[in-house]
A and B are shown apart, each in its own frame.
Chain A
Amino acid sequence: KNQVEQSPQSLIILEGKNCTLQCNYTVSPFSNLRWYKQDTGRGPVSLTIMTFSENTKSNGRYTATLDADTKQSSLHITASQLSDSASYICVVSPWKLHSGGYNKLIFGAGTRLAVHP
């Protein structure tokens, strides 16, 4: 069964510190892997998207890495800020044989990050 598992479930760090969130998936083959940020009471917003052939993708202080061999991805946040407090969701899109139509997304349950002053 295609699954996306994220760890840790929750994390507390101090402002200015770095952290790394993990995503393990069993989806194979897959088309792309995305990381979303979801602020409390808001909808998810895309941070990065990587195809199966990419190893890393950055968006400001956010850097996502992908190891397709071990089926693992990580999201590294550098110099955390209070505004980074949110849930971070890993999403995998399975490979489609034919183009067009809907491409199902498989969502992880997310990691809830709290950045304290």
Chain B
Amino acid sequence: NAGVTQTPKFQVLKTGQSMTLQCAQDMNHNSMYWYRQDPGMGLRLIYYSASEGTTDKGEVPNGYNVSRLNKREFSLRLESAAPSQTSVYFCASSEAGENEQFFGPGTRLTVL
């Protein structure tokens, strides 16, 4: 079992460029999440998907969109990247919304 996988591991973008961060889990979990981690701050929730076919905004959704492609995959898209989106992005999954979350290895994104 690979757990939660994320691609790419690193990415550098120019302001205004777009990209999609990919996340997949092989634990048959219903719920999936996208977080960002910035220096000196706790992880903040961007979007989550309680179950296949549903997505909801978290604490900091502006500038992002998500797609729950199927039960395994949950992608995060930046349509027009801004320097303020420079961060480390983590995907996580859980059996249900109330259960322990398992995190992927993260994607380090730099927007110039």
B41 cross-chain contacts in A, Cβ below 8 A? 109
What 6 A-B pairs come out closest when comparing CB atoms? A107-B42, A43-B103, A102-B97, A107-B43, A103-B98, A44-B103
A45 cross-chain contacts in B, Cβ below 8 A? 103
- B interface residues, how many (CB within 8 angstroms): 23
**B56 close to chain A: CB less than 8 A:** yes
Contact B42 A110 (CB under 8 A): yes
Contact of B101 among A4, A99, A105 (CB under 8 A): A105
Give the complex CA separation of A49 and B90 in angstroms.
Answer: 20
Give A114 Cβ to nearest chain B Cβ, in Å. 16
Max count, chain A CB within 10 A of own CB: residue among B40, B43, B44, B96: B43
- Given A42-B105, A46-B102, 8 further pairs, Cβ under 8 A: A43-B4, A43-B90, A43-B106, A44-B43, A44-B103, A45-B103, A103-B97, A109-B41
> From DSSP, what is the main secondary structure of chain B's interface residues?
loop
Interface 1/0s, chain B 18-58, versus A by CB < 8 A? Answer: 00000000000001000000001111110010100000100
Give B44 Cβ to nearest chain A Cβ, in Å. 8
Max count, chain B CB within 10 A of own CB: residue among A44, A89, A99, A102: A102
Q: Which residues of chain A have a CB within 8 Å of any CB of chain B?
A: 4, 34, 41-46, 49, 89, 96, 99-110
Give A94 Cβ to nearest chain B Cβ, in Å. 11
Contact of B50 among A43, A49, A102 (CB under 8 A): A102
Give the complex CA separation of A39 and B98 in angstroms.
Answer: 25
Give the complex CA separation of A101 and B31 in angstroms.
Answer: 9
> From DSSP, what is the main secondary structure of chain A's interface residues?
loop
Contact A108 B56 (CB under 8 A): no
Assuming the contacts A89-B42, A102-B48, asked whether A46 and B100 have C-beta atoms less than 8 A apart, the reply is: yes
Contact B42 A41 (CB under 8 A): no
Give B22 Cβ to nearest chain A Cβ, in Å. 15
Contact A100 B40 (CB under 8 A): no
A43 cross-chain contacts in B, Cβ below 8 A? 4, 90, 92, 103-106
Give the complex CA separation of A99 and B99 in angstroms.
Answer: 11
- A-contacting residues, B78-112, CB 8 Å: 90, 92, 96-98, 100-106
